[in-house]
Amino acid sequence: MSVPAGPSQGDAANDMERAQPANDRHPLPREGGRGEGCLSLVSVAIPAYNHAAFIEACLASVCAQTNAELELVLIDDGSQDDTLEVARRYLEPHRDRFRRIVLERQENQGVSAASNAVIAACRGEWVHLLGSDDVLHPDKVARIQQAIADWNCPDLALVHADADTIDEHGRPVARRRQKPRPAPGPDREAWRVLFLGDNFVINPTVALRRDAFLAVGGFDRKLALEDIDCWLRLSARHAIARVPEVLASYRKHPGNTLRRRVRMLGAQFHTFGKFLAEHPGLLAEDDIRRHFRRCLTRFWRRMRRKQPWLLPAVLGAQLKSRLRTPQPEDYRRFGRLLDTAAG
Protein backbone atom coordinates (compact mmCIF):
# COMPACT_ATOMS: atom_id res chain seq x y z
CA MET A 1 0.00 0.00 0.00
CA SER A 2 1.49 3.30 -1.01
CA VAL A 3 1.66 6.28 1.35
CA PRO A 4 1.18 9.68 -0.29
CA ALA A 5 3.84 12.27 0.35
CA GLY A 6 1.44 14.67 1.98
CA PRO A 7 -2.22 15.62 2.28
CA SER A 8 -3.98 17.57 -0.42
CA GLN A 9 -6.41 20.36 0.46
CA GLY A 10 -10.00 19.16 0.68
CA ASP A 11 -9.33 15.49 0.00
CA ALA A 12 -11.94 13.70 2.10
CA ALA A 13 -9.96 10.46 2.03
CA ASN A 14 -6.57 11.81 2.99
CA ASP A 15 -4.79 11.39 6.26
CA MET A 16 -4.64 13.88 9.12
CA GLU A 17 -3.40 17.37 8.51
CA ARG A 18 -0.93 17.09 11.40
CA ALA A 19 2.49 16.21 10.06
CA GLN A 20 3.79 12.81 11.12
CA PRO A 21 6.78 10.70 10.06
CA ALA A 22 5.95 9.07 6.72
CA ASN A 23 6.52 5.52 7.99
CA ASP A 24 4.00 6.09 10.78
CA ARG A 25 1.17 7.29 8.53
CA HIS A 26 -1.18 4.78 6.92
CA PRO A 27 -3.99 6.51 5.04
CA LEU A 28 -6.25 4.16 3.11
CA PRO A 29 -7.63 6.39 0.37
CA ARG A 30 -11.05 5.60 -0.94
CA GLU A 31 -11.79 6.11 -4.61
CA GLY A 32 -15.23 6.73 -5.95
CA GLY A 33 -18.33 7.32 -3.88
CA ARG A 34 -21.00 5.40 -2.11
CA GLY A 35 -23.80 7.85 -1.68
CA GLU A 36 -21.23 10.37 -0.43
CA GLY A 37 -22.86 13.62 0.63
CA CYS A 38 -26.32 12.07 1.03
CA LEU A 39 -25.92 11.58 4.77
CA SER A 40 -24.01 13.54 7.39
CA LEU A 41 -20.56 12.17 8.07
CA VAL A 42 -20.23 10.37 11.41
CA SER A 43 -16.83 9.58 12.88
CA VAL A 44 -15.59 6.51 14.72
CA ALA A 45 -12.45 7.29 16.72
CA ILE A 46 -10.24 4.51 18.10
CA PRO A 47 -7.25 5.20 20.37
CA ALA A 48 -5.32 1.92 20.29
CA TYR A 49 -2.61 0.47 22.51
CA ASN A 50 -1.23 -3.09 22.70
CA HIS A 51 -4.45 -4.67 21.48
CA ALA A 52 -3.23 -6.73 18.53
CA ALA A 53 -5.30 -9.63 19.87
CA PHE A 54 -8.53 -7.59 19.90
CA ILE A 55 -8.24 -4.90 17.21
CA GLU A 56 -9.57 -7.05 14.37
CA ALA A 57 -12.80 -7.83 16.23
CA CYS A 58 -13.10 -4.16 17.13
CA LEU A 59 -12.69 -3.05 13.50
CA ALA A 60 -15.01 -5.77 12.22
CA SER A 61 -17.75 -4.38 14.45
CA VAL A 62 -17.19 -0.91 12.98
CA CYS A 63 -17.31 -2.23 9.42
CA ALA A 64 -20.59 -4.00 10.24
CA GLN A 65 -22.36 -0.78 11.24
CA THR A 66 -25.65 -0.18 9.44
CA ASN A 67 -24.97 3.56 9.31
CA ALA A 68 -23.70 4.26 5.80
CA GLU A 69 -21.57 7.39 5.99
CA LEU A 70 -18.65 6.76 8.33
CA GLU A 71 -15.09 7.89 8.69
CA LEU A 72 -12.64 5.87 10.76
CA VAL A 73 -9.70 7.46 12.56
CA LEU A 74 -7.34 5.24 14.56
CA ILE A 75 -4.25 6.40 16.42
CA ASP A 76 -1.88 3.79 17.78
CA ASP A 77 -0.33 5.13 20.99
CA GLY A 78 3.10 3.60 20.56
CA SER A 79 2.03 -0.02 20.96
CA GLN A 80 4.73 -2.55 21.72
CA ASP A 81 2.91 -5.20 19.70
CA ASP A 82 1.72 -5.12 16.07
CA THR A 83 -1.67 -3.51 16.73
CA LEU A 84 -1.26 -0.98 13.91
CA GLU A 85 -0.10 -3.53 11.36
CA VAL A 86 -3.02 -5.85 12.18
CA ALA A 87 -5.40 -2.91 11.75
CA ARG A 88 -3.83 -1.92 8.44
CA ARG A 89 -4.06 -5.45 7.04
CA TYR A 90 -7.65 -5.84 8.14
CA LEU A 91 -8.83 -2.52 6.72
CA GLU A 92 -7.16 -2.82 3.32
CA PRO A 93 -9.97 -4.94 1.77
CA HIS A 94 -12.61 -2.90 3.62
CA ARG A 95 -11.55 0.58 2.59
CA ASP A 96 -14.63 1.14 0.41
CA ARG A 97 -16.76 0.83 3.52
CA PHE A 98 -15.66 4.27 4.70
CA ARG A 99 -15.65 7.77 3.30
CA ARG A 100 -12.29 8.38 4.98
CA ILE A 101 -9.85 6.14 6.83
CA VAL A 102 -6.83 7.36 8.80
CA LEU A 103 -4.30 5.18 10.59
CA GLU A 104 -1.52 6.87 12.49
CA ARG A 105 1.10 6.00 15.07
CA GLN A 106 2.42 8.35 17.75
CA GLU A 107 4.92 7.98 20.56
CA ASN A 108 3.29 6.65 23.69
CA GLN A 109 1.56 9.49 25.56
CA GLY A 110 -1.22 7.69 27.41
CA VAL A 111 -4.90 7.09 26.78
CA SER A 112 -5.98 10.70 27.41
CA ALA A 113 -3.56 12.19 24.89
CA ALA A 114 -4.35 9.50 22.31
CA SER A 115 -8.10 10.01 22.76
CA ASN A 116 -7.77 13.77 22.46
CA ALA A 117 -5.69 13.43 19.31
CA VAL A 118 -7.99 10.96 17.60
CA ILE A 119 -11.11 13.02 18.32
CA ALA A 120 -9.44 16.24 17.17
CA ALA A 121 -8.50 14.51 13.90
CA CYS A 122 -12.10 13.56 13.11
CA ARG A 123 -14.28 15.57 10.72
CA GLY A 124 -17.75 14.46 11.75
CA GLU A 125 -19.94 16.56 14.03
CA TRP A 126 -20.49 13.48 16.20
CA VAL A 127 -17.65 11.16 17.17
CA HIS A 128 -18.22 7.62 18.43
CA LEU A 129 -15.26 6.90 20.70
CA LEU A 130 -14.32 3.23 20.89
CA GLY A 131 -11.64 1.40 22.84
CA SER A 132 -9.50 -0.87 20.68
CA ASP A 133 -10.50 -3.92 22.71
CA ASP A 134 -14.27 -3.29 22.71
CA VAL A 135 -16.89 -4.02 20.03
CA LEU A 136 -20.02 -2.30 18.75
CA HIS A 137 -23.34 -3.92 18.00
CA PRO A 138 -24.37 -3.43 14.35
CA ASP A 139 -26.99 -0.72 14.98
CA LYS A 140 -24.99 1.27 17.53
CA VAL A 141 -24.10 4.27 15.38
CA ALA A 142 -27.43 4.35 13.55
CA ARG A 143 -29.55 4.12 16.69
CA ILE A 144 -27.65 6.87 18.48
CA GLN A 145 -27.64 9.17 15.46
CA GLN A 146 -31.38 8.65 15.03
CA ALA A 147 -31.96 9.45 18.70
CA ILE A 148 -29.92 12.64 18.35
CA ALA A 149 -32.08 13.70 15.41
CA ASP A 150 -35.31 12.80 17.21
CA TRP A 151 -34.40 14.71 20.39
CA ASN A 152 -33.35 17.83 18.44
CA CYS A 153 -31.56 19.10 21.56
CA PRO A 154 -29.15 21.92 20.61
CA ASP A 155 -27.08 21.72 23.81
CA LEU A 156 -26.63 17.94 23.68
CA ALA A 157 -22.94 17.02 23.99
CA LEU A 158 -22.79 13.33 24.92
CA VAL A 159 -24.98 10.33 24.18
CA HIS A 160 -24.50 6.92 25.75
CA ALA A 161 -26.34 3.61 25.79
CA ASP A 162 -26.25 0.28 27.60
CA ALA A 163 -23.69 -2.48 27.08
CA ASP A 164 -23.06 -6.12 27.82
CA THR A 165 -19.71 -7.57 28.91
CA ILE A 166 -17.49 -10.07 27.14
CA ASP A 167 -14.24 -11.78 28.14
CA GLU A 168 -10.92 -11.89 26.30
CA HIS A 169 -12.31 -14.64 24.02
CA GLY A 170 -15.50 -12.74 23.19
CA ARG A 171 -17.70 -14.89 25.42
CA PRO A 172 -20.51 -13.23 27.43
CA VAL A 173 -19.72 -12.46 31.06
CA ALA A 174 -22.61 -12.64 33.49
CA ARG A 175 -22.98 -9.69 35.85
CA ARG A 176 -23.72 -10.28 39.50
CA ARG A 177 -26.10 -7.34 39.57
CA GLN A 178 -27.19 -4.60 37.23
CA LYS A 179 -26.72 -1.08 38.54
CA PRO A 180 -29.66 1.29 38.06
CA ARG A 181 -29.51 3.13 34.76
CA PRO A 182 -30.49 6.77 34.15
CA ALA A 183 -33.80 7.67 32.55
CA PRO A 184 -33.79 7.72 28.73
CA GLY A 185 -33.37 10.98 26.87
CA PRO A 186 -31.50 14.23 27.57
CA ASP A 187 -30.60 15.27 31.13
CA ARG A 188 -29.29 18.76 31.86
CA GLU A 189 -28.27 17.89 35.42
CA ALA A 190 -26.42 14.64 34.77
CA TRP A 191 -23.48 15.99 36.79
CA ARG A 192 -25.51 15.38 39.94
CA VAL A 193 -25.64 11.60 39.52
CA LEU A 194 -22.14 11.41 38.03
CA PHE A 195 -20.72 13.06 41.15
CA LEU A 196 -23.02 11.81 43.90
CA GLY A 197 -23.77 8.38 42.46
CA ASP A 198 -21.99 6.16 39.95
CA ASN A 199 -20.35 6.73 36.60
CA PHE A 200 -23.24 5.49 34.47
CA VAL A 201 -21.54 6.23 31.14
CA ILE A 202 -20.26 2.98 29.60
CA ASN A 203 -17.35 4.01 27.41
CA PRO A 204 -17.84 1.89 24.24
CA THR A 205 -21.38 3.27 23.92
CA VAL A 206 -20.32 6.93 23.90
CA ALA A 207 -20.91 9.47 21.14
CA LEU A 208 -19.50 12.97 21.62
CA ARG A 209 -20.29 16.24 19.88
CA ARG A 210 -16.80 17.07 18.74
CA ASP A 211 -16.89 20.85 19.18
CA ALA A 212 -18.31 20.61 22.71
CA PHE A 213 -15.68 18.04 23.70
CA LEU A 214 -12.84 20.21 22.39
CA ALA A 215 -14.31 23.35 23.99
CA VAL A 216 -14.08 21.87 27.51
CA GLY A 217 -10.46 20.85 26.90
CA GLY A 218 -10.96 17.17 26.18
CA PHE A 219 -9.57 14.55 28.54
CA ASP A 220 -7.26 15.74 31.32
CA ARG A 221 -3.88 14.08 30.76
CA LYS A 222 -2.95 14.55 34.43
CA LEU A 223 -5.79 12.37 35.71
CA ALA A 224 -5.79 8.57 35.73
CA LEU A 225 -9.60 8.54 35.56
CA GLU A 226 -9.93 10.87 32.62
CA ASP A 227 -13.39 9.77 31.47
CA ILE A 228 -15.44 10.64 34.58
CA ASP A 229 -13.68 14.01 34.81
CA CYS A 230 -14.58 14.81 31.21
CA TRP A 231 -18.19 13.65 31.58
CA LEU A 232 -18.57 15.85 34.66
CA ARG A 233 -17.19 18.91 32.86
CA LEU A 234 -19.39 18.29 29.82
CA SER A 235 -22.51 17.74 31.93
CA ALA A 236 -21.93 21.00 33.83
CA ARG A 237 -22.32 22.86 30.52
CA HIS A 238 -24.44 20.62 28.33
CA ALA A 239 -27.12 17.96 28.26
CA ILE A 240 -26.19 14.27 28.35
CA ALA A 241 -28.60 11.65 27.02
CA ARG A 242 -29.12 7.90 27.23
CA VAL A 243 -30.44 5.52 24.60
CA PRO A 244 -31.95 2.61 26.60
CA GLU A 245 -30.63 -0.20 24.41
CA VAL A 246 -27.63 -2.54 24.58
CA LEU A 247 -25.48 -1.24 21.72
CA ALA A 248 -21.91 -2.31 22.56
CA SER A 249 -19.82 -4.89 24.36
CA TYR A 250 -17.23 -3.93 26.95
CA ARG A 251 -14.35 -6.39 27.03
CA LYS A 252 -13.10 -7.43 30.46
CA HIS A 253 -9.62 -8.93 30.49
CA PRO A 254 -6.53 -8.90 32.74
CA GLY A 255 -5.08 -5.81 31.08
CA ASN A 256 -8.06 -3.55 31.76
CA THR A 257 -7.24 -0.41 33.74
CA LEU A 258 -10.35 -0.83 35.88
CA ARG A 259 -8.75 -3.78 37.67
CA ARG A 260 -6.27 -1.47 39.37
CA ARG A 261 -8.75 -0.65 42.04
CA VAL A 262 -6.63 1.32 44.50
CA ARG A 263 -5.22 3.56 41.80
CA MET A 264 -8.67 4.12 40.32
CA LEU A 265 -10.16 5.01 43.69
CA GLY A 266 -7.39 7.55 44.18
CA ALA A 267 -8.19 8.99 40.75
CA GLN A 268 -11.83 9.36 41.80
CA PHE A 269 -10.83 11.40 44.86
CA HIS A 270 -8.73 13.69 42.63
CA THR A 271 -11.55 13.98 40.08
CA PHE A 272 -14.10 14.94 42.72
CA GLY A 273 -11.73 17.50 44.23
CA LYS A 274 -11.12 19.05 40.83
CA PHE A 275 -14.84 19.28 40.02
CA LEU A 276 -15.64 20.95 43.35
CA ALA A 277 -12.82 23.45 42.85
CA GLU A 278 -14.02 24.34 39.35
CA HIS A 279 -17.74 24.47 40.18
CA PRO A 280 -18.15 25.97 43.66
CA GLY A 281 -21.73 26.17 44.85
CA LEU A 282 -23.08 23.77 42.24
CA LEU A 283 -23.64 20.96 44.74
CA ALA A 284 -25.52 21.36 48.03
CA GLU A 285 -23.27 21.25 51.10
CA ASP A 286 -25.23 18.41 52.70
CA ASP A 287 -24.78 16.35 49.53
CA ILE A 288 -21.03 16.96 49.55
CA ARG A 289 -20.77 15.92 53.22
CA ARG A 290 -22.62 12.65 52.64
CA HIS A 291 -20.65 11.99 49.47
CA PHE A 292 -17.30 12.55 51.20
CA ARG A 293 -18.21 10.13 53.99
CA ARG A 294 -19.17 7.47 51.45
CA CYS A 295 -15.83 7.99 49.73
CA LEU A 296 -14.03 7.59 53.04
CA THR A 297 -15.83 4.29 53.62
CA ARG A 298 -14.61 3.05 50.27
CA PHE A 299 -11.12 4.33 51.09
CA TRP A 300 -11.01 2.33 54.32
CA ARG A 301 -12.25 -0.85 52.65
CA ARG A 302 -9.28 -0.68 50.29
CA MET A 303 -6.69 0.39 52.85
CA ARG A 304 -7.54 -1.33 56.13
CA ARG A 305 -5.30 -4.30 55.39
CA LYS A 306 -2.61 -2.38 53.53
CA GLN A 307 -2.23 0.54 55.97
CA PRO A 308 -4.35 0.01 59.11
CA TRP A 309 -2.59 2.89 60.86
CA LEU A 310 -4.66 5.30 58.72
CA LEU A 311 -7.78 4.57 60.77
CA PRO A 312 -7.42 7.70 62.98
CA ALA A 313 -7.15 9.90 59.88
CA VAL A 314 -10.28 8.35 58.39
CA LEU A 315 -12.27 8.68 61.61
CA GLY A 316 -11.09 12.26 62.07
CA ALA A 317 -12.15 13.19 58.54
CA GLN A 318 -15.52 11.52 59.07
CA LEU A 319 -16.10 13.59 62.21
CA LYS A 320 -14.96 16.87 60.64
CA SER A 321 -17.31 16.33 57.69
CA ARG A 322 -20.24 16.57 60.11
CA LEU A 323 -19.01 19.92 61.39
CA ARG A 324 -17.98 21.56 58.12
CA THR A 325 -18.33 20.93 54.41
CA PRO A 326 -15.33 19.09 52.94
CA GLN A 327 -13.22 21.13 50.55
CA PRO A 328 -11.43 20.07 47.36
CA GLU A 329 -8.18 19.63 49.29
CA ASP A 330 -9.87 17.11 51.60
CA TYR A 331 -10.58 14.90 48.59
CA ARG A 332 -7.09 15.43 47.19
CA ARG A 333 -5.46 14.49 50.50
CA PHE A 334 -6.98 11.01 50.47
CA GLY A 335 -6.34 10.74 46.75
CA ARG A 336 -2.63 11.24 47.41
CA LEU A 337 -2.65 8.54 50.11
CA LEU A 338 -4.17 6.13 47.61
CA ASP A 339 -1.65 7.16 44.95
CA THR A 340 1.19 6.32 47.34
CA ALA A 341 -0.36 2.96 48.23
CA ALA A 342 -0.82 2.09 44.55
CA GLY A 343 2.86 2.77 43.92
Report residue 100 CA to chain centroid gap.
22
DSSP one-letter string for 197-224: S-----GGG-EEEHHHHHHTTSS-TT-S
* pLDDT tens profile 7-21: 333 333 334 333 333
User: What type of residue sits at position 309?
Assistant: W
In this prediction, residues 260-272 reach a mean pLDDT of 91
**pLDDT in the model for residue 226:** 87
Q: What is the CATH number of domain 22-257?
A: 3.90.550.10
Q: What is the pLDDT of residue 253?
A: 77
Give yes or no for a contact between 156 and 209, defined as CB atoms under 8 angstroms apart: yes
Q: Determine contact, residues 335/273, Cβ cutoff 8 Å.
A: yes
As a whole number of angstroms, the distance between CA 230 and CA 280 comes to: 17
Residue-level pLDDT at 177: 77
pTM: 0.87
36 or 294, higher pLDDT: 294
At 14 the pLDDT is: 39
3-state secondary structure of 54: coil
Residue type, 82: D
d(C-alpha 224, C-alpha 267), whole Å: 6
pLDDT digits (tens, 9 = 90+) for 321-337: 999 999 999 999 999 99
What does the pLDDT look like over 21-72, one tens digit per residue? Answer: 333 444 443 333 333 444 689 999 999 999 999 999 999 999 999 988 999 9
Domain spans of the chain, in order of start: 22-257, 260-342
- What mean pLDDT value characterizes the chain? 88
Cα 78 to its chain centre, rounded Å, is 19
Quickly count: other Cβ atoms within 10 Å of residue 340's Cβ. Answer: 11
Instruction: Using pLDDT thresholds of 50, 70 and 90, give the confidence band for residue 255.
Output: low
